[in-house]
Structure 1
Amino acid sequence: MTYKERVQNLKKHLDRMILELPEPSHFELSQNAFYTTFLFVSMLVTGLLFAASMSVEELSKPEPQVSVEEMRLEHDVRKMVAGYPIERMMPYIVKQDKTTAAFLVGIAKKESNWGKRIPTQNGRDCYNYWGYRGAGSRGKAMGHGCFGSEQEAIETVSKRLDTLIGDYRFDTPEELVVWKCGWTCSGHSAKSVDKWIADVGYYANQIKN
């Protein structure tokens, strides 16, 4: 409730109190009327001071700060993914570490064309644009995780990427090919592995550099 609304509500309440005051007799206030008037004035002053203090408190709340780095990241990513389904995930992507965000974009391009080739469940989007194979809150669909929301998808996939990048120090497409192959690429052709590295690297590096 705004300051103006609080004051208006307070005045309405006090107006009702005024109507309940006893009628004066021969222009002399009775003792009860005097105390009631005094109470009314006290409550009015107290209420206005309280409303004013609440307004000051609201005004003093800091506005959410957006860093220059975050603004630059959003600009770079949005320019690349404009018009693709992944664009709706922008508010969550830009909150990630820059390297993680870069691979979120690069891997999503390779695995789903930024959300145009996706697993679905009962006709609903699973928000899995990265070929992530772990279960989501909606289980699995078509062999891949099925998430309940865009936010859940970014948080889950980012957490996995953070582990690979932060704990294992895998911060290049050549190292992060484990996303495609697992710990060995023996079951994949060299051509498909090289293509994955090249495609993911092309888009990720545009964000990283």
Structure 2
Amino acid sequence: MSTEFSELLISAASAIGTLGAVGAAFHLSRKTDDIRNRDEERLQRIHSLNLLPVLEAIHSDLRASFAYVIFSDEAPRSMDDVSERLNRAIKWSQDFEELSAIESLTAASLLKLPEIPSLRISYALGLLRALRLDISRFSAEHWADPVPASAHKAREWALAQSTASDYIGVALYSLSQVAMQESIVPSGAEITGFSDDIHPEASTRRLSLASIVARCFRGKRAGAGSQ
């Protein structure tokens, strides 16, 4: 009977040990997942802050280019007008491709952002690269009536820019929510260097000086009272 009881105790202890090991492993796994999730959120925020100025510059450029074509006072009436618009379009496409900031918007880079904004940015960049290719291939000389054809093409390009601008604009708003940029804007005190958070030793020095002045003042009052 004592042998059976001993075996029962051993089995129970073994089961408790197994449960304890499982519980510890589960706790460790959950803690690891929490740390990984926090790191991913932090990485998304850091990358969002890094890309916001880049996207804002591209967005502003697209809106300006679109407005020039759509809200132009006059439609092109001559080949000179057509040439001017084509030259502007070609210059835009060259500037866009040579923009060093575009290099930071790689697929690997976008993968670090939240899914929906990254997909919108990726689609917008695809539209813009297709637009650049279309601009480089266009030649007014291939049309029987090049002036209206070029005007139509310019509006088509402007609408493509507007579509890309819309996608980037919405992505910008989403990233600004992730980045929480307002929370990291330095205060005037931090910029000038008078913040106790940045220079706590300065606060200590001010307190020490105040204590010395207070002691001197009390000493003078005590001396005056004794007289």
Fold-level similarity (TM above 0.5): no
Which structure is richer in relative contact order (CA contacts within 8 A, separation 6 or more)?
A: 2
Q: Over alpha carbons, which structure has the higher Rg?
A: 2
